[in-house]
Structure 1
């Protein structure tokens, strides 16, 4: 995960988190996330890599087809 903190947020400030999938691979997906305030100012942006791991072997495994289908809609 990489995060760029650009501007501070204030207590009681209304924030919006925007998230989109930028890469979908066999065993992983990457989200680009942005946090903006009510004026539209960009406060933070991040790239988040999420991997699917077999819990017994602790090795990458393919994302479930049902999840991939939902993300492709």
Structure 2
């Protein structure tokens, strides 16, 4: 998440505002201190202009799709 944000030359404050989060909340998410929901992950991915799958390696993402089969129907949205 941090690498993608830095690649896009965005500050944590920029992403947190795009998501509608307090900056301290986003900072703790990016630091790995806070667990997040799929909705929160979607908001961050959207704010960064990236598919959710960009936060995972292919193997991990495929395992998530297998574990949560209902996500399979939205696979195109997750990958863009």
Shorter-chain TM range is under 0.3
TM-score, reference length from structure 1: 0.27
Calculate the TM-score normalised by the size of structure 2.
0.26
